[in-house]
Amino acid sequence: MTSCTHFRDRVGLRLRIGVMKDVNRGIMSMQTAVDAFFVTLSV
């Protein structure tokens, strides 16, 4: 029983870490897009 919940917690943690990485990547790409947008505006 405990091993089952432990396994589920580990899978959930791994999923959460993956989601956080995806979110960070999305934020980074959004940042570069915004930077490029402002660069084109200033030029």
What is d(CA 26, CA 30) in angstroms, rounded to the nearest whole number?
6
Q: If residue 24 lies in a helix (H) or strand (E), which one and from where to where?
A: helix 2-42
Token pair belonging to 24: 């960070």
The pTM of this model reads: 0.55
CA 38 to chain centroid: 24
1 or 22, which is more confident: 22
The whole-number pLDDT of residue 1 equals 56
Each residue's pLDDT tens digit, 7-37:
889 999 999 999 999 999 999 999 999 999 9
What is d(CA 24, CA 34) in angstroms, rounded to the nearest whole number?
15
